[in-house]
Each structure stands twice: as C-alpha cells, then as structure tokens.
Chain A
Amino acid sequence: MRLLIVEDNERLARLTREGLERRGLVCDEAHSLDAADAALDCVIYDAIILDLGLPDGDGLHWLKQRRRDGMMVPALMLTARGALEDRIDGLDAGADDYVVKPAETDEIAARIRALLRRPGVRALPLLEVGPLRFDCAARRASVDGVTLDLSRRESDLLELLMREAGAVVRRDRIETSLYNFEAEISPNAVEAVVSRLRRRLDEGAARNMLHTIRGLGYMLEDRGQ
C-alpha cells in the first residue's frame, strides 16, 4: 500500500505520514500541487489524501482536472467544511470520501482502508478486517488463518460486510445483493443468514464483530490490522 499525502502544512503532513506508517501504510508527502503532479507521474499510488487549500491552487479544482485526465486513484479529502452544509463539493469533484478536520489518525486510516476495500480498478483480491480474511477469487473466508465453512449466501454477506467494514450496511441493500429479483424473500431470510454467519464468526477469534442496528441493518466492526 502506498499513499500520497497532499498537504501544505509540512508539520501536519509529516505527522499524518508518521501516524499512517505506524499503521502499516507507506506514505509520500507533497506540499504543493506541483509536487503532487510530479509524484503521481513516477509512482503508482493506491490512494491520495488531499487537503483543499494549497499554495499553488485549489485542491478541488486540481482533482477535477486530474479525474478528467483519467486518474482513477481513490482520493480521501480533508475538509474544514462547516457543520450545516449538506452538500460536499469534493464528492462532486471526484473525491471518494471525506474527513472533517481535525481528524484523528485512526479515522483517516479507517477511511483509507475502506477506500482500498472498494471494488474498483485496482480491486484487492484479498479483503482483510481485523482477524478476518476473505479471498474474493476463491471465495474463501478465514479467521486468524482458520478457514470458515460458509454457505454461498453467508460468504456473499461476509464479503459485503467486509467491504463496508466500519459502516452500517442497510437491510434492503443486503437483500438486493444477496437475492436476485425473482427470488421470493421471506421476511426473516436476511436475519437467518446473518445469525448463521454470526454463529460462525463467534466460534472463532472474530467474536462480537458483527453488530445489529435494529430497524436499519448490520455492521462489521473495523478492528484495523
């Protein structure tokens, strides 16, 4: 994993880099958009952390331009937006997610991990959440190296929850991704799959990682690596 931190405050950039490196993410710093361009030309990054106000231009404008030129690297935007603005400009400009400043390193690292788990151009063949591993090609799940015996629906559900680890996955989304349109879904079908998966996870070292948000959906806790 290699990240590019685009941030003009050198101290903030260094501290963010060091924090992320302690969490196993290798980072480069760019203190201006020119430097970011130069870095992107010679290294293939897995994600960009972008601050908006930079000395040689507006980060949003730069990102929009880069996206138009075909850059697909996922971008996490650091924003100092106000509390009441309901639209995040950055998401229109091509950012994949945003964190409101001041953000903690854990939060930034969690968002980056979530970005990297998304299916995309450089989709990871192996998903990792805490002690859980999921091999997307072989469709095999394991906890601390011990393979889990899962049905097809259980593995589909686990993959979905792992890709969204740390965020709530709503029930209706689980229904549409687990069952095709023709299938008659009984009211408790999703609950049944979830409770079977939870039993499997609780047997291993992934105890209490799968949470129910009653009335809304489910969430797999993002325990980091």
Chain B
Amino acid sequence: MSGRVSVGQRLSLGLSLIGLFGVIALIAMVSLQYGFTADELLHFSTLAYTRNELIGHVGLPILVLLVPTVLAARWVILRAFRPLEAAAHAIEAAPTERGVRIDDRDMPAEAMPFVAAINRLLDRLDSVAREQEAFAADVAHELRTPLSILSLELDRLEGRDAIALKEEVTAMRRLIDQLLLMAQVNVEAAAPLPAKSIDLATLAEDLVARLAPGIIAGGRDIAVEVEDGHVAVAGHREAIMAALRNLVENAVRATPAGGTVTVVAGPGTRLRVRDEGPGLAQDDLMRLMQRHERDAFASTDGAGLGLAIAHRIMVAHRGQILAQQEARELILSFQQ
C-alpha cells in the first residue's frame, strides 16, 4: 500500500477539512454578529466561557454531524467497491484465460466505463486468440496434403538416408497433430462442452490399447495397472486422453529400449505414468511446461509442447500435473 491513498481516506481527510473550515467560519460569523473582538474573546476573564460556548455550540454539533457522515460514507464506499473486488477474485480464479468477462450487474454506475472497457479488451483478446488458433488449425490442415505426398514419395526410397528422412516426416506429422490439438484445446476452453463422467481406468486401458502397437514396434513395453477400481471424473474424454497420451509419449522418450512404461489408474482421481528414465523434478516439469524455457529438453517432435498441452488440458479440468522424481512418475491429478 506504499503511498496509495484509498477513497475512504480521502473522504475522511476532506470531511475533516470541511469541519475545520466550518468551525473557523462559525466563529467568524458569531464574532461579526455580536461585535466581539479577538481581545475580548481571548481575555483571561472570558476565556473559560468562550471555550465552553465554542465546544457546546460549535464543536459538538459539527462532531455530531461529521462523525456519522464519515462512518456512513466509508461504509457506502466499501459496499460500492465490493463488486470490483469480487470481479478481481473471479478473474484470478478463472480456470482459463479465455472467455473471461467481468459480471457488471452489481457494478456502480461510476465503475461502468472502466468495466465496459475491460470487457471490450477481453473480447478483443479472445477474438485475436481465436483468429490465431483458426490460423494455426488452417496451416496444420493445409500441411497435411503436401506432407502426405512427401511421405509417400519418401516411401519409394530406400537406405539409411531415407530412414532418417522418414523419421523426420513422422516427427513433423506429430508436431502438426499437436498444433491442431493445442488450437482445439484453446477453443474448447473458451466454450467448454458439457462435462461427462469419465472412468479413468477404462480410459487408461483404451489409450494403452491404442498406443501399444507403436510402442512395442519401438522396442519398449507398456503395461496398465488399476489401483482403485473404477473411479470417475467429470470432463472431456478425448481431451483427457490426449493429455495422458502426451505423458505416455514423454515417458516412452525417456525410457531406454527394452524398458517398460507403466500407466496406473489411481489411487483416487489420478492417472500416473511411470517411466524408466532419470525422473523429472517438479521444478523442471514446471519449467518444461512454460514456453520458451524448454531448450534443455527440446526435441523436434514437440516434447515440451506435449507437456504444455497436457498442462492446459488439466487446468481446464481444474486439475494439475505433478512430478514424482523418485518414483519416476508424471501424474495427472484431478479434483476429488
């Protein structure tokens, strides 16, 4: 609060000044009317009388008037600003940056220009973000055909160079998938679908069944464990599946050939992915999920991007991603 004066403080100060001026004006008017001079008023024989008169007829009435005014005004001001405070809390607590608007129903008229301007700004930010997402989605879509052609042309080549090129194309395909996913997750966050009840154990099994052929072809194993039976959370099934898939792909990347990636449903509303890599500390995970800071872990197939997307999906589901370095686990943790 360094040097910042609240409206209540300003009002108290203003009213005190008014009181002071009132006292001086009153004394001056009384003196003029009765022709008192300063000498007569302040003479030692009349001083006590003057003081009593001043307190009784000037000080008290002004105090009786001013004190309730100050208290009432401060109360009114506090009440008037409460909607602004509530709006600030609501913005802070919003699960995503998208589609947030200030509720102006209880706002005082004086705050409306500001609130309306903020809401218009949020509108503009949303539409800019939407345009960028639509653009990213368009680019990703447009890239599919040339990439198909490239991939099929490469198919005719053989040898070491061709294999390396094919791997690059595969990585590029995955990157485009992730871009599309990111755009869709953001659109989804702006206008969420109605949440459905999703069984985490079934979801884990379905995902492992889908990914197992590729992981096994890559020389690693994958397993599923269900700890707490069938526990359900509310959300968007394909989005949670995409988040879990990104964690599994991250785990596959960290696991040396011959190792096993294990997907565990439970305990409770958790999905855990265990790898056989060096393990990741919570701090490193947080850094990895921030943009521009994943250089140490960067890869051409969007490793950091995958975790950042998983993070967004979890935030939209009011959950979080945790890292357990000793257990070599990344965890999708949903609210109970």
Contact = CB atoms under 8 A, between A and B. Distances in A.
Interface of A: 9, 11-12, 15-16, 18-19, 22, 80, 82-86, 100-106, 166-168, 170, 211-217, 219, 221-222
A207 to B, nearest CB: 14
A159 B221 CA distance: 23
Contacts of B184: 82-84
A167 B173 contact: no
Nearest to A102: B148
Contacts of A219: 212-213, 216
A83 B213 contact: no
Given A83-B242, A84-B238, A101 B155 contact: no
Nearest to B264: A215
A83 B173 contact: no
6 contacts: A12-B145, A80-B144, A103-B151, A105-B151, A168-B212, A219-B216
A216 B208 CA distance: 8
A90 B334 CA distance: 33
For the complex, would chain A's binding face be called helix, strand, loop or mixed by DSSP majority?
Answer: loop
A9 B145 contact: yes
Contact of A167 (B144, B213, B242): B213
Nearest to A215: B224
Interface string B172-199: 0100010011001100100000000000
Contacts of A168: 208-209, 212-213
B88 to A, nearest CB: 32
B239 interface: yes
Given A19-B155, A216-B212, 4 more contacts: A84-B236, A104-B166, A211-B216, A215-B205
B152 interface: yes
A51 to B, nearest CB: 10
Nearest to B180: A83
Find the residue from A100, A102, A212, A213 having the highest chain B CB count within 10 A. A102
B225 interface: yes
Contact of A80 (B141, B155, B222, B237): B141
B92 interface: no
A156 B147 CA distance: 41
A219 to B, nearest CB: 6
Interface string B125-164: 0000000000001000100110111011101100000000
Contact of B149 (A15, A22, A84): A15
Given A83-B180, A83-B181, A104-B170, A16 B222 contact: no
Contact of A86 (B181, B221, B223, B238): B238
A82 B136 CA distance: 12
B66 interface: no
Contacts of A103: 148, 151
B102 interface: no
Interface string B194-238: 000000000001001100110011000111111000000000111
Nearest to B236: A84
A147 to B, nearest CB: 27
Given A11-B149, A216-B224, A85 B144 contact: no
Given A18-B156, A215-B224, A84 B213 contact: no
Contacts of A11: 149
